[in-house]
Structure 1
Amino acid sequence: MQSLWDLPDFDDHEAVHFVTDRDSGLKAIIAMHSTALGPAAGGTRFWHYPDPNQAVADVLRLSRGMSYKNAMAGLNLGGGKAVILAGPDRIKTPEMLAAFGNAVDRLGGNYVTAEDVGITVADIVAIAQQTKYVSGLPVTEGAVGGDPGPHTSYGVYLGVRAAAKRALGKDSLDGLHIAIQGAGSVAGGVARLAAKDGARISIADIDQARAQKVADEVGGIAVSPDEIMTLEADIFSPNALGAILNEQSIPALRVPVVAGGANNQLARPEDGDRLHARGILYAPDYVINAGGIINVATEYLKDGDKDEVRRRIERIPHRLEEIWAESAATGRNPAAVADAMAQRLIGRA
Structure 2
Amino acid sequence: MHSVDLKALLTTLGSDPFDHERVALFQDPASGLKAIVALHSTALGPALGGTRFHAYDSDEKALADVLKLSRGMSYKNAMAGLDFGGGKAVIIGDPEQIKSEELLMSYGRFVDSLGGRYVTACDVGTDTADMDTIARTCRWTATRSLESGGGGDPSVFTALSVLQGMRAAALHRWGTPSLRDRTVGVAGVGKVGRLLVEHLFDEGARVAVTDVREKPVRRLAEEFPQIVVADDTEALIQLKGMDVYAPCALGGALDEAVAAVLTAEVVCGAANNQLARPDVERQLADRGILYLPDYVVNAGGVIQAAGDLRGATPQQSMTKVERIFDTTLAVLERARAEDILPGTAADQIAEQRIATAADARTAAGGPRPR
Give the TM interval when normalised to the shorter protein: over 0.9
The alpha-carbon deviation at position 55 of structure 1 amounts to 0.4
State the match for 1:118 in structure 2: 125
1:199 is matched with which residue: 187, 201, 205?
A: 205
Retained in 1: the 8 A contact 2:95–2:125? Answer: no
Q: Which SS does the other structure have where 2:315 is aligned?
A: helix
Alignment check: 8 A CA contact 2:159 2:298 kept? yes
| Contact residue 136 and residue 146 of structure 1 kept, 8 A | yes
Runs of 4+ residues over 3 Å off in structure 1 = 8-11, 87-90
1:279 is aligned to: 288
What is the distance in 2 between the residues matched to 1:150 and 1:244?
Answer: 22
1:170 offset after TM fit, Å?
3.2
**Aligned partner (choices 237, 248, 251) of residue 242 of structure 1:** 251
The offset of 1:307, in angstroms, is 1.9
Shift, 1:14, TM fit: 0.3
Query: 2 CA distance for matches of 1:344 and 1:126?
Result: 37
When structure 1 is superposed on structure 2, of 1-10 and 15-24 the one drifting more is 1-10
Equivalent residues of 2:53, 2:95 under 8 A apart? no
The answer (yes or no) to whether the contact 2:4–2:60 under 8 Å persists in 1 is no
Q: Aligned residue for 1:4?
A: 6
Distance 1:123 1:171 in 2: 37
Q: Residues of 2 paired with 1:240 and 1:164: CA distance?
A: 22
Return the offset for 1:171.
3.3
Distance 2:56 2:146 in 1: 33
Question: 3-state DSSP class of the match of 2:146?
Answer: coil
**Partner Cα distance (2:222, 2:115) in 1:** 47
% same residue: 42
- 2:323 corresponding residue in structure 1: 315
Work out whether 1:305 is the aligned partner of 2:307: no
1:179-225: per-residue Cα shift (whole Å, max 9, x none)?
11011111111110110111111000001221121233233122122
Q: Judge conservation of contact 1:149–1:186 (CA < 8 Å) in 2.
A: yes
What is the TM-score with the length of structure 2 in the denominator? Answer: 0.90
Letter in 1 for 2:290: L
Q: In 2 relative to 1, CA 171–321 (structure 1 residues): closer, same or farther, beyond 3 Å?
A: closer
Give CA-to-partner distance per residue, 1:291-326, whole Å, 9 cap, x none: 110000010122x22221111001101111111111
Q: Give the AA of the match of 2:160.
A: Y
Select 2:36's aligned residue among 6, 11, 29: 29
Alignment of 1:92-107 (within 5 A): 92-107=99-114
Task: Decide which structure has greater helix share.
Answer: 2
Superposition CA RMSD, Å:
1.9
**Alpha-carbon separation, structure 2, partners of 1:312 and 1:111:** 22
Residues 88, 148 of structure 1: alpha-carbon distance in 2 compared, 3 angstrom cutoff: closer
Q: Number of aligned pairs?
A: 347
Of residues 66, 79, 83 in structure 1, which corresponds to 2:86? 79
1:329 is aligned to 2:334: no
Distance across 2 between alignment mates of 1:135 and 1:144 = 7
Could you tell me whether the CA contact under 8 Å between 1:68 and 1:343 is conserved in 2?
yes
1-side partners of 2:299 and 2:275: how far apart? 17
Instruction: Find 1:251's aligned residue among 260, 281, 284.
Output: 260
Asked whether the 8 Å contact 1:259–1:282 carries over to 2, the reply is yes
Q: Is the 8 A contact 1:156 1:259 kept in 2?
A: yes
Distance in structure 1 (CA, Å) of the matches to 2:55 and 2:97: 7
Counterpart Cα distance in 2 of 1:135 and 1:44: 11
Query: Which of 286, 291, 299 pairs up with 1:290?
Result: 299
Alignment match of 1:16 (pick from 1, 23, 40): 23
Structure 2: any 5+ residue segments left out of the alignment?
Answer: 359-369
Q: Tell me the amino acid that sits aligned with residue 231 of structure 1.
A: L
Amino acid at match of 1:211: V
TM-fit CA distance, 1:89 = 6.5
Residue 362 of structure 2 corresponds to which residue in structure 1? none
Cα shift at 1:144: 6.7
Rounded Cα–Cα distance in structure 2 between residues aligned with 1:48 and 1:187: 21
| Conservation of the 8 A alpha-carbon contact between 1:48 and 1:90 | no
User: Structure 1 residue aligned with 2:192, among 183, 186, 191?
Assistant: 186
Ranges in structure 1 where 5+ consecutive residues have no aligned partner: none
Partners of 1:30 and 1:17 in 2: CA distance: 5
**SS of the counterpart of 2:346?**
helix
Q: Does the 8 Å CA contact 2:143/2:150 hold for their aligned counterparts?
A: no
